[in-house]
């Protein structure tokens, strides 16, 4: 167990401070009890509850956001007779209502979806009150509807790639879905789908993410100032909420794209009379179907399989007026395979079947209940697993003899089972308290092989026996337990100052290892004017997982691993300072600076990579620290005909490992000095809108060889035989070594790309009279920039060597058709 250090002592002091801070709750309640108005915010058309909607009392400068169940609890001063409240959510018309807290303690609110149209009244109110007034910072929410308007690779809307367009977030290599947030690594992001963690969010080797936007309501990215409810990762939380489904009517939504099609069906639960709803959404690619005519024409006897699928489902059931049960499930796999059969003239027949499958499966069962209009509770059971499996089988038949075969299977993955309880309590107008606990059992399978065979030759069988004995599944898998408890208080300190104070305590136990930590969290905002605030935050994080991954490309072989005696857990602290302002006419601007310190990071040892098998992973990595700092500008417009944002990040991300680069600090591979994202959407009319994105990023830091030289060291005995003074000889062939410049001392070419999409909306769906359709035509990488994917060395002229840059996508057209009825 780690010894307590100054950091932990500071954490204990922080806990004491939190307790001290909680005391005014009772003190303020004594003279006159404040009044709390609660309720759910729902979509008026579908009845779906809306998480993340903002309930704001402008006269009081006080507001709250709905939780994941769409519940709000707005506590008002005791003297408030009537209070004007605005309820807003992106994509919906803002509702303005008068609350009389003395008379009404429960008020459900429905919001009408925005109806786009030039001639119609502009959306009543502007968003941004929540961003300005909230104590949270470094947090951005995007709805699935916004994502669907963006240009997309091959026309496939992608939630993760939309997040990559936000400031402070970088993509990895070309087209990849990896997230690198504020100098952190791709393993440092907690990606939650309805509260359950997803471990691999990639399809097609990282070119598409697993999120089917048809089934998604919204996503919220938190990259700093983490509230205490979140933990377990260092760099970000990506909280994805699935849609509930339409409670009022059945609806069907579908899309047909270049590589995939999706179908979503939703509606009220049969026989429950608006007490429940369901949504089921499925997506599948058909690359294999499209490619089959071309492949089969080239090679007879050969079959090729390549597809992925997603299945999202969510059932919501109101057991009572207050008790809600929700079951969310996701299942998705990538399936690739190849097979061939050959028969020779003498009757010898050989058949090869090879395939790989990887994917996630998760389920969440949640029960939520407001015990009073001040206390809301949630309990959830979660299960999540990521699995990679590959099978190859080679069978041979000689006429007159029984078939012989050998079959190899390799699997790896991680399975989580967990339980969680959360409570939200609003004791006064000045306090909103949250507390909860979580316990998760991780089962790691870091790579298991099995072999089956039936061989004709006894010697081969004996050798296979030896190999099979070494591939024993149970010798590899292991279990760890991870738990945490937290408490946080959103504390209103007068009209201008508010703070969120929290403490997150976590521990992990696995084998003989135990790790524990106390992580203080603080974020505060000060309102300069009702439309302008400054914010600051500090958060400490601890992560009990490592990802042993290839650099640059998301491969299904990436392994999740628990910390060990040699490789400790990851820790970080981050401080941020920023300002947020509402500029009018739907414009928001946010400027933030941050500094993040990370310890317990792992990097591959020089020369080591995922491609070198048979080695303990701990021998492949070095442990060190890193730090990142920078500034972010986020200018966004969410209402009006023209929406979108401009994001700019200026940042430095550095690593230092005692055993790497001679102990000298070096730039992280994804250190990106300048990162620009321009997202633009313009609605020309009810039927036509244009989406545009342009991104620019400084090239990745790489290490390049600058010189070649002979290994002169008399190392080869055959050379030595000639070089021994008693045995001189003529010229010899010497091995050549390379001199590399400083680690990360060079940069790949800068990355920039323009994508366009033209969306045409029209009535009717699938040749039916009702419903509506959208046809999207666009292009990825419009000016066909040859962006760097990776560099590789190749022989040059006259014995020299050259570096070449591999680039992936030139201009790629995109076509997608979406319908709804």
The residues in 320-359 that bind another protein, with binding defined as CB under 8 A, are 336, 338, 354-356
Are 225 and 520 in contact by the 8 Å Cβ rule? The answer is no
- How far apart, in whole angstroms, are the C-alpha atoms of residue 543 and residue 185? 12
Are 364 and 333 in contact by the 8 Å Cβ rule? The answer is no
CB of 798 to another protein, least distance (A): 3
Is residue 806 within the footprint of another protein (CB under 8 A)? yes
Give the H or E element holding residue 9. Answer: helix 6-29
Q: Kindly tell me which residue out of 106, 709, 762, 783 binds another protein, with binding defined by CB under 8 A.
A: 709
**Mask of contacts with another protein, 662-691, x by CB under 8 A?**
x-----------------------------
> In this complex, which beta carbon is closest to another protein, that of residue 55 or of residue 701?
701
* Stretch of 4-12, 414-422, 435-443, 799-807 lying at the interface with another protein (CB under 8 A): 799-807
* Stretch of 120-128, 240-248, 313-321, 739-747 lying at the interface with another protein (CB under 8 A): 739-747
Q: Which of 740, 660, 661 is nearest to 708 (CA)?
A: 740
> In this complex, which beta carbon is closest to another protein, that of residue 124 or of residue 715?
715
- How far apart, in whole angstroms, are the C-alpha atoms of residue 238 and residue 142? 11
Give the H or E element holding residue 707. Answer: strand 705-710
**Mask of contacts with another protein, 459-478, x by CB under 8 A?**
xx-xxx-xx--xx-------
* Stretch of 254-262, 369-377, 683-691, 735-743 lying at the interface with another protein (CB under 8 A): 735-743
Q: Kindly tell me which residue out of 9, 289, 738, 766 binds another protein, with binding defined by CB under 8 A.
A: 738
Is residue 661 within the footprint of another protein (CB under 8 A)? yes
Q: Kindly tell me which residue out of 351, 443, 786, 820 binds another protein, with binding defined by CB under 8 A.
A: 786
> In this complex, which beta carbon is closest to another protein, that of residue 717 or of residue 770?
717
Q: Kindly tell me which residue out of 706, 763, 766, 813 binds another protein, with binding defined by CB under 8 A.
A: 706
Q: Which of residues 172-211 bind another protein (CB under 8 A)?
A: 204-205, 207
Task: Read off the tokens for 301.
Answer: 């006897």
**Strand intervals (E) in 530-683:** 532-543, 546-548, 559-561, 570-584, 587-604, 621-637, 642-656, 666-667, 674-683
CB of 597 to another protein, least distance (A): 22
The DSSP string of 267-292 is EEPTTSTTSEEEEEEEEEE-HHHHHH
Is residue 390 within the footprint of another protein (CB under 8 A)? yes
* Stretch of 27-35, 225-233, 586-594, 786-794 lying at the interface with another protein (CB under 8 A): 786-794
> In this complex, which beta carbon is closest to another protein, that of residue 6 or of residue 470?
470
- How far apart, in whole angstroms, are the C-alpha atoms of residue 795 and residue 798? 9
Are 108 and 99 in contact by the 8 Å Cβ rule? The answer is no
Q: Kindly tell me which residue out of 439, 665, 734, 756 binds another protein, with binding defined by CB under 8 A.
A: 734
DSSP conformational letter for 273:
T
b/e 703-715 (16+ beta carbons within 10 angstroms → b): bbeeeeeeeeeee
Residues 6+ apart with CB under 8 A from 519: 11, 228, 231, 503, 504, 505, 506, 539, 540, 541, 542
**Mask of contacts with another protein, 419-458, x by CB under 8 A?**
------------------------------xxx-x-x-x-
Beta bridge pairs of residue 624: 601
φ, ψ at 117 (rounded to 5°): 165, 135
Are 668 and 685 in contact by the 8 Å Cβ rule? The answer is no
CB atoms within 10 A of CB 307: 19
Q: Kindly tell me which residue out of 703, 756, 771, 782 binds another protein, with binding defined by CB under 8 A.
A: 703
Is residue 790 within the footprint of another protein (CB under 8 A)? yes
Q: Which of residues 611-650 bind another protein (CB under 8 A)?
A: 611-615, 619
Q: Which of 361, 447, 354 is nearest to 394 (CA)?
A: 354
> In this complex, which beta carbon is closest to another protein, that of residue 676 or of residue 705?
705
Q: Number of residues in contact with another protein, rule: CB under 8 A?
A: 116
φ, ψ at 469 (rounded to 5°): -65, -30
Residues 6+ apart with CB under 8 A from 479: 441, 442, 443, 444, 510
Q: Kindly tell me which residue out of 401, 725, 767, 770 binds another protein, with binding defined by CB under 8 A.
A: 725
Residues 6+ apart with CB under 8 A from 310: 210, 212, 262, 281, 282, 283, 284, 330, 331, 332
Is residue 717 within the footprint of another protein (CB under 8 A)? yes
CB atoms within 10 A of CB 585: 10
**Mask of contacts with another protein, 747-766, x by CB under 8 A?**
-xx-----------------
> In this complex, which beta carbon is closest to another protein, that of residue 330 or of residue 388?
388
CB of 220 to another protein, least distance (A): 31
> In this complex, which beta carbon is closest to another protein, that of residue 110 or of residue 805?
805
Residue the block writes with tokens 């990849």: 176
* Stretch of 49-57, 72-80, 520-528, 718-726 lying at the interface with another protein (CB under 8 A): 718-726
CB of 513 to another protein, least distance (A): 19
CB of 165 to another protein, least distance (A): 22
CB of 294 to another protein, least distance (A): 11
Q: Which of residues 278-307 bind another protein (CB under 8 A)?
A: 306
Q: Which of residues 521-580 bind another protein (CB under 8 A)?
A: 550-553, 555, 557
φ, ψ at 470 (rounded to 5°): -75, -15
Is residue 810 within the footprint of another protein (CB under 8 A)? yes
CB of 395 to another protein, least distance (A): 11
Are 634 and 578 in contact by the 8 Å Cβ rule? The answer is no
> In this complex, which beta carbon is closest to another protein, that of residue 741 or of residue 763?
741
> In this complex, which beta carbon is closest to another protein, that of residue 118 or of residue 715?
715
Residue the block writes with tokens 């991780």: 442
Q: Which of 276, 272, 213, 281 is nearest to 252 (CA)?
A: 281
Dihedral angle of Cα 286, 288, 289, 290, to the nearest 10 degrees = 90
- How far apart, in whole angstroms, are the C-alpha atoms of residue 588 and residue 683? 19
- How far apart, in whole angstroms, are the C-alpha atoms of residue 720 and residue 737? 18
CB of 192 to another protein, least distance (A): 28
Are 183 and 653 in contact by the 8 Å Cβ rule? The answer is yes
Is residue 724 within the footprint of another protein (CB under 8 A)? yes
Beta bridge pairs of residue 241: 218
Q: Which of residues 587-616 bind another protein (CB under 8 A)?
A: 603-615
DSSP conformational letter for 93:
P
Q: What angle do CA 217, 440, 238 make, to 5 degrees?
A: 30
> In this complex, which beta carbon is closest to another protein, that of residue 423 or of residue 451?
451
Is residue 800 within the footprint of another protein (CB under 8 A)? yes
Is residue 707 within the footprint of another protein (CB under 8 A)? yes
Is residue 715 within the footprint of another protein (CB under 8 A)? yes
Are 227 and 500 in contact by the 8 Å Cβ rule? The answer is yes
Q: How many residues does the chain have?
A: 821
* Stretch of 111-119, 157-165, 237-245, 808-816 lying at the interface with another protein (CB under 8 A): 808-816
CB of 279 to another protein, least distance (A): 31
φ, ψ at 364 (rounded to 5°): -135, 125
Is residue 391 within the footprint of another protein (CB under 8 A)? yes
Q: Which of 206, 189, 207 is nearest to 198 (CA)?
A: 189
CB of 200 to another protein, least distance (A): 15
Q: Kindly tell me which residue out of 82, 289, 802, 813 binds another protein, with binding defined by CB under 8 A.
A: 802
**Mask of contacts with another protein, 35-54, x by CB under 8 A?**
--------------------
- How far apart, in whole angstroms, are the C-alpha atoms of residue 84 and residue 96? 7
Give the H or E element holding residue 719. Answer: helix 717-723
CB atoms within 10 A of CB 496: 14
Q: Kindly tell me which residue out of 730, 767, 769, 770 binds another protein, with binding defined by CB under 8 A.
A: 730
């Amino acid at each position: 167990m780690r010894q307590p250090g100054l950091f932990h002592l500071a954490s204990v002091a922080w806990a004491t401070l939190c307790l001290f801070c909680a005391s005014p709750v009772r003190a303020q309640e004594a003279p006159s009890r404040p009044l709390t108005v609660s309720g759910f915010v729902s979509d008026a058309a579908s009845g779906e509850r809306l998480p993340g909607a903002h309930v704001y009392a402008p006269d009081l400068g006080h507001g709250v956001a709905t939780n994941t169940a769409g519940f709000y609890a707005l506590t008002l001063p005791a003297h408030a007779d009537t209070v004007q409240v605005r309820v807003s959510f992106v994509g919906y018309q803002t509702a303005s209502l008068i609350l009389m807290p003395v008379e009404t303690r429960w008020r459900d609110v429905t919001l009408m979806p925005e109806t786009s149209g030039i001639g119609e009244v502009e959306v009543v109110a502007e968003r941004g009150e929540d961003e300005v007034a909230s104590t949270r910072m470094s947090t951005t929410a995007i709805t699935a509807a916004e994502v669907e308007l963006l240009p997309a690779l091959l026309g496939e809307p992608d939630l993760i790639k939309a997040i990559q367009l936000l400031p402070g977030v970088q993509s990895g290599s070309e087209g990849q879905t990896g997230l690198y947030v504020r100098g952190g690594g791709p393993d440092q992001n907690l990606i939650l789908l309805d509260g359950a963690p997803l471990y691999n969010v990639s399809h097609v080797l990282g070119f598409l993410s697993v999120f089917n936007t048809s089934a998604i309501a919204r996503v919220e990215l938190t990259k700093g100032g983490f509230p205490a409810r979140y933990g377990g990762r260092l760099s970000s939380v990506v909280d994805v909420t699935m849609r509930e489904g339409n409670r009022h009517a059945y609806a069907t939504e579908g899309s047909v794209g270049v590589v995939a099609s999706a179908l979503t069906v939703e509606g009220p639960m049969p026989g429950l009379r608006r007490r429940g709803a369901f949504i089921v959404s499925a997506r599948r690619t058909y690359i294999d179907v499209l490619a089959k005519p071309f492949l089969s024409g080239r090679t007879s006897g050969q079959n090729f399989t390549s597809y992925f699928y997603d299945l999202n489902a969510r059932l919501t059931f109101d057991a009572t007026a207050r008790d809600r049960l929700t079951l969310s499930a996701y299942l998705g796999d990538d399936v690739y395979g190849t097979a061939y059969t050959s028969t020779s003239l003498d009757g010898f027949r050989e058949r090869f079947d090879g395939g790989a499958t990887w994917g996630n499966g998760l389920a969440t069962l949640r029960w939520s209940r407001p015990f009073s209009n001040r206390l809301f509770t949630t309990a959830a059971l979660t299960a999540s697993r990521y699995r990679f499996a590959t099978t190859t089988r080679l069978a041979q038949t000689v006429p007159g003899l029984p078939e012989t075969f050998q079959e190899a299977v390799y699997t790896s993955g991680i399975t989580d089972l967990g339980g969680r309880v959360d409570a939200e309590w609003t004791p006064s107008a000045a306090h909103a308290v949250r507390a909860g606990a979580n316990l998760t059992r991780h089962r790691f399978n870091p790579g298991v092989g099995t072999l089956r065979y039936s061989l004709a030759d006894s010697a081969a069988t004996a050798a296979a026996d030896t190999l099979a004995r070494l591939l024993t599944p149970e010798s590899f898998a292991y279990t760890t337990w991870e738990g945490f408890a937290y408490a946080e208080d959103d504390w209103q300190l007068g009209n201008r100052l508010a703070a969120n104070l929290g403490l997150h305590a976590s521990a992990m136990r696995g084998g003989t290892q135990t790790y524990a930590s106390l992580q203080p969290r603080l974020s505060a905002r000060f309102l300069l004017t009702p439309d302008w605030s400054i914010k600051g935050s500090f958060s400490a994080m601890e992560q009990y997982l490592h990802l042993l991954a290839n650099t640059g490309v998301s491969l299904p072989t990436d392994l999740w691993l628990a910390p060990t005696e040699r490789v400790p857990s990851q820790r970080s602290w981050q401080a941020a300072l920023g300002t947020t302002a509402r500029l009018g006419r739907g414009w928001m601007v946010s400027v933030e600076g941050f500094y993040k310190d990370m310890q317990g990071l792992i990097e591959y040892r020089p020369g080591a990579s995922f491609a070198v098998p048979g080695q303990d992973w701990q021998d492949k990595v070095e442990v060190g620290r890193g730090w990142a700092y920078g500034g972010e500008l986020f200018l966004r417009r969410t209402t009006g005909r023209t929406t979108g944002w401009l994001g700019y990040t200026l940042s430095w991300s550095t690593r230092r490992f005692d055993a790497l680069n001679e102990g000298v600090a070096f730039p992280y591979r994804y250190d990106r000095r300048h990162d620009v994202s321009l997202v633009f959407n313009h609605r020309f009319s009810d039927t036509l809108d244009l989406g545009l994105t342009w991104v620019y990023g400084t090239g990745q830091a790489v290490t390049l060889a600058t010189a070649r030289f002979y290994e002169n060291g008399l190392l080869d005995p055959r050379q030595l035989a000639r070089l021994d003074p008693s045995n001189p000889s003529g010229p010899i062939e010497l091995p050549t070594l390379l001199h590399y410049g400083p680690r990360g001392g060079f940069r790949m070419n800068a990355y920039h790309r323009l994508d366009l999409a033209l969306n045409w909306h029209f009535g009717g769906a699938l040749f039916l009279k009702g419903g509506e359709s959208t046809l999207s035509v666009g292009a990825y990488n419009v000016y066909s920039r040859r962006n760097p994917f990776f560099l590789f060395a190749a022989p040059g002229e006259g014995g020299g060597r050259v570096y070449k840059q591999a680039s992936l996508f030139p201009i790629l057209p995109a076509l997608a058709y979406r319908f709804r009825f």
